[in-house]
Structures are given as structure tokens and as C-alpha cells.
Amino acid sequence: MCTEAPADPVPQPSADLPNPPADQGKSTLPTADAAYWEEAAASFDDEPDHGLRDPAVRSAWAARLRSWLPSAPAAVLDLGCGTGSLALLAAEQGHQVTGVDRSPRMIAQARGKLTGHDAAFLVGEAAEPPVGEHRFDAVLVRHVLWALPDPPAVLRHWAGLLAPGGRLVLVEGRWGEAEPIGIPAAELAALVEPLAAHTHVEDLSHDPVLWGKEVTDERYALIAGFPPGIPT
């Protein structure tokens, strides 16, 4: 993310979080209501790992997605999809993508990016996406879970959105030193493992191309494969 650490936690984020102003401390963070994300939409893609405008950054994320998602074509649900950058990569790899975000402006941008692709975008909350009874081969969520109020319940709900043998892909991290925020990989693995048939944690901190800079905090992806039946 450009030159600053990721933003501090705010409830219900859209995809990855835009960086706060340099003088903005934890106590002055804006609440992530609809108005906040509507305003953030205009500059959201300025971050290297949001807009994926740098070909090297884009290629790095494309390679990761290819290894995380099932073989194409698969039905992929991108929660907190923001402006649709990861959704576009997935669609280009042959997947059918449904994106959900709480910001209508970001959804409008995502629809524009994916014109001509097999994709649909919905305005809604990542914690309870408005997808009805539809089930997906993969649920992709980047930098969203850590800011939700009840991660265990949300994970169970997301698991219930998977088709038999589906896959949950979570990109998360733990940022900051004095007052760290986020979810450590070990903590998230402990929440997911009772639900999943198998899990794999992939370190992302040591791949600066993904972020457009060197990073020293914990960044990772957790990929979980699920059995046909998910307990409720």
C-alpha cells in the first residue's frame, strides 16, 4: 500500500482499506459508513494493491489468485470487492465472479472494469452478502474479516455460502507496533480449522511486489478447503 501502513480498523470495510492522512491517529479514524466509502471510491485505486495499475503488481496478484482459486471455470464470490480489481483478475482467468461491496460508487467502478466479462456486482454487506441461496466454488475476501465484530460467526456464514468441496480464500494481516490491529495468522487458522477439511497459510509479507513496497508487518493468505457438509 504505497508509503504508509494499512489503515486502522473500522467496521465493515470495503476490500482493502485506504490509508488515513499522515496526522490521523487511531482515535480519529472515520467510521466506515456508506458516506465514508463513497468518498473513498474516487481515490481507492491509487494504492498499488488496490488499483493494480502497475503491471508488476497486477501480475503478482494474478499469480497468487491462480494458485488460490479452484480450476476455471468456477463460481467465485468476492466479498468487499471494492472497485473490482481482484474480481477482474479472476474473470480474466475464466471464472464467473459475483462481487459484493457496501459502496455503490465502488460497485459502479467494478461494473465498468468488468464490462464484457461473466460478472455481477451487488451492493451489500460482506458479513451477510445478498446472494440468496446461491452457492459458490470459492469465497474470496481481502482485508475485511479483521474489522468485523464477530469473526467466528461470519466465518461460519461464509462457509455456508460454499458449494460442496468449496474453497475459502482470506487475505489478512496484523499491522502496527504500539497498538497492532488485524488478525494474526495463527489466530485466524484456529478459527477456520474446526470448519475446514484442510487449511494452508501463505506468507505475503516477503513479496514486496504485491504491495508496491517493502513491508515489515504480518501479511498472509489463508486458503481453506471445505467438506460437503458445514455444521451450523
* DSSP string for residues in 189-230: HHHHTTT-SEEEEEE-TT-HHHHTS---SEEEEEEEE--S--
Residue 231 inside a domain? The answer is no
pLDDT at 71: 96
Residue 61 inside a domain? The answer is yes
Q: Would you call 6 exposed, middle or buried from its count of C-beta atoms within 10 A (0-12, 13-18, 19+)?
A: buried
Dist CA 57 CA 64 (whole Å): 11
Residue ranges making up the domain that contains 180: 29-225
Note the pTM of the prediction, 2 decimals. Answer: 0.84
Each residue's pLDDT tens digit, 102-136: 999 999 999 999 999 999 999 999 999 999 999 99
Residue 24 inside a domain? The answer is no
Rg of the chain (C-alpha set) = 16
Apex 112 CA angle, 99 and 77, nearest 5: 10
Residue 174 inside a domain? The answer is yes
Q: Would you call 132 exposed, middle or buried from its count of C-beta atoms within 10 A (0-12, 13-18, 19+)?
A: exposed
Residue 104 inside a domain? The answer is yes
Looking at per-residue confidence, does 227 or 149 come out higher?
149
CATH number for 173: 3.40.50.150
Residue 218 inside a domain? The answer is yes
Each residue's pLDDT tens digit, 29-82: 333 566 777 788 888 878 888 989 999 999 999 999 999 999 999 999 999 999
Residue 154 inside a domain? The answer is yes
Dist CA 143 CA 141 (whole Å): 7
* pLDDT band with cut points at 50, 70 and 90 for residue 15: very low
Report whether 220 contacts 192 (CB < 8 A). no
Residue 33 inside a domain? The answer is yes
Domain count, the chain: 1
Number of helices and strands in the chain (H, E): 8, 8
Report whether 185 contacts 218 (CB < 8 A). yes
| Phi and psi, residue 178, nearest 5° | -65, -45
Pairing between strand 218-225 and 198-203? Answer: antiparallel
3-state secondary structure at position 21: coil
Dist CA 36 CA 182 (whole Å): 20
Query: Among the ranges 19-23, 86-90, 174-178, which has the highest mean pLDDT value?
Result: 86-90
| Phi and psi, residue 111, nearest 5° | -60, -40
